[in-house]
Structure 1
Amino acid sequence: MRVLLVAYGSRGDVEPMVGLAVSLRELGAEAQVCAPPDFAELLDGFGLPLVPLGRSVREMATKAVTGTSNPPPAESLPERAARMVAATYEQIAAAAEGCDAVVATGLLPAAAAARAVAEKLGIPYVFAAYFPTYLPSPHHPPLAWPGRPVPPDVTDNRVLWELNTENLNALFGEAINTHRASIGLPPVDNVRDHVFTDCPWLAADPTLAPWLRPADLDVVQTGAWIRQDERPLPAGLEAFLDAGTPPVYVGFGSMPMRDAQDVAHAAVEAIRAQGRRVLVSRGWAGLALTDEGDDCFAVGEVNQQALFRRVAAVVHHGGAGTTTTAALAGAPQVVVPQMADQPYWAARVAELGIGAAHDGPTPTFASLSAALVTALAPETRARAAEVAGTIRTDGAMAAAQRLCRG
């Protein structure tokens, strides 16, 4: 069996697909991964060839945050979507030759292209979400889209999801249907439901992110797609960890930040004020040490599964992968949400009692200090250890087995 895995997004979109690909390989199946060119090294480390999809996501995200992006002034989001659908369709179609199924996640136009490829080939298609609130449900509202504010007087979730349908049709409907017509496929009335299907998969842990029923969709919750990381920690990091008490980790993953150094300074000083050592992860924000104190250390890409078992707390942006990794390690968390699903994960961390949800995306010394008091409390660590024992690690294998069974 050969499966095409499509993920056009940040590392948080791509890394779970690596976990699924590795599990498929363990079952004797072959996985082909289509993802942005940023992640060739990540896939290469697992012997997975990358089929590059679209432009560098890191470059686009950094330009958008820093204000250096210069799109053609007359080009609207629907026009950019049209270009994405057409371009990604060609790349996905080429990679899908000989495949028996397609699994997609990430940006909606790219996932729509993946579904069109599956339709043309007559093979199964699965859409995977990494957090519940991306999928329509009467139990939660949809994410807000830029430029499409939710009417403040509307609180009924079903009405909000109907508005979400209208918004996504307005943004992407013409682009998707024009392309579908060009390749001989019929139009769709609801682009969101078309991409998600009636039976999407939820690759999230049931304890951290439960799918609430009853709901209109027949969601299959597989558990998070975790790839086991066996890499040793770098020697310099090992030496720092061994030289004193467990540090507090701070990193924002693949989130660029306009005021990265101000954030780094606030974090370092707030952590020091709690009498803790500091471990800074550079990430896409380019966080750096604010001085040469021997109580601080900076790292790049490392094995977080191993590292988070050895820290006092994890301060992060609230991506699905980082939240799950910290929870599995039993590390208390401070979530500083920046966008998209991150406020959801911040709220879940607070609700579960395994950390603190920071109010807003820009931490200060005072706000981080208050959050750290909660995260570093003995009762929070005890609760984090308790929850760690409930986190499933078989989600990727469960999904792989389901694919192989057809």
Structure 2
Amino acid sequence: MCRNCQKSKRECLGYDPIFKSQSGPPQIQPAPNSVPQPHSANAPPAPAPQAQASYSQSPVPQGYAPASSAPAGYAPAASTTGGHQPENFNAIDPALAQSGQNMQPNVPPYNGVHSLDPAIRGLHGANPYGPPPIPEPTKAKRLNISDIFGICNHSPPEVPQRTSPVPAAFDEDFTTIFVNDYCQGLDVMLQTTWFSTNNNALNRVFADRSLHEEAAYFTEMIKYKASNTDMTGVFSQEARLIWHLLGTCKHAPPSTNGANGSTASFPEDDVALREVRARLDILEALLTNQNLESNPMRQIQYSGDLPEPKRAEIEFWQALGDFAQYSDSDTAPPGAADHALAAMRNVLHMQEVRDAIYSIAIARHYGSRTGGFPNSLPAPINQHADSDLNKLLVAMSFISHESRSATQQVLARICDMAMLSWTVSRSL
């Protein structure tokens, strides 16, 4: 018994009782929009989303995680004007978090599209029939990226073909939405400055007819039809658009007359362009349970005098590429995926996007090895932070948290897509 407990005659826990581990994983409130599961009938009702009159910067509906609602512990989003570097975030390492504590203190209950199934919570109280048998682990099926656009059980609507040019007013409105809500988030997601430099992404949107019409349709839905349209499906529509915006790095440069800037700063063999394309391929493989034939990040040659932050960034994406190549691969060297995860963890450096991507990798790795993933996980037997189940629960909780409280909407929708992949890849 420690001296403090001996003096106060209280139960000695060996440490301050305020840090006493809880009896189950973090309590995740089910979202009001999610489809109820049969076993969640006794779950407490979630608070209704707080009504907002209008979004402070754009007409994008609330609930998308504007910067003003960022959780404590993360730096506010920087201005999107001019060049910028990806942010440093005061994030926690999800692998080190105690599964009995909230990811962020003083954060209100989740009120987004969906959250973790209540079945992952610890079951309190005695069960006279004993615990149910734990299902065998289920290996995830390979997916196409379009399989995980359908957030909140809504597939994104087909984009109607236009018989006339997109109105200039739509282009102006989309430009405002893009600058306020997506441009910086695209850069942050892949830790680059390519999308914002010289309006690379926006110019390619307007140069590609299919993507241009999709952007106009999205603008029309959220700005002009929001008052008389069911907006539940807009999340899936946004996820599809965000992925296609990320894909602009693979579009050919638009023709230019030199009046509106130049695209010459990123020729096809430019390291920054090759880098962002490689990272998009890696992210897609991660989300869809695919295996890369080779790691594209290992094929890029860098100079030897890189500053330490850039070196850590490269090491993170190289390790993530190794993971996407070796995870669940029958031909992978023994322990290759675990080694890649350890290498990623060593260079998280409190950056929000790395924490989220690392958590997605953890969920993929341990989810395929844990029976009942994702909706019927057993209660943890102990609170040992290094157990596979606790690592999985912490990662799932962090991804769920980011899907509605990330500082960037792009990251929030990617987390939604990751969560959807857990069930879609295991459905019949």
For normalisation by structure 1, the TM-score amounts to 0.26
Greater percentage in strand: 1
- Pick the structure with greater CA Rg: 2
Q: Structure 2 length normalisation: TM-score?
A: 0.25
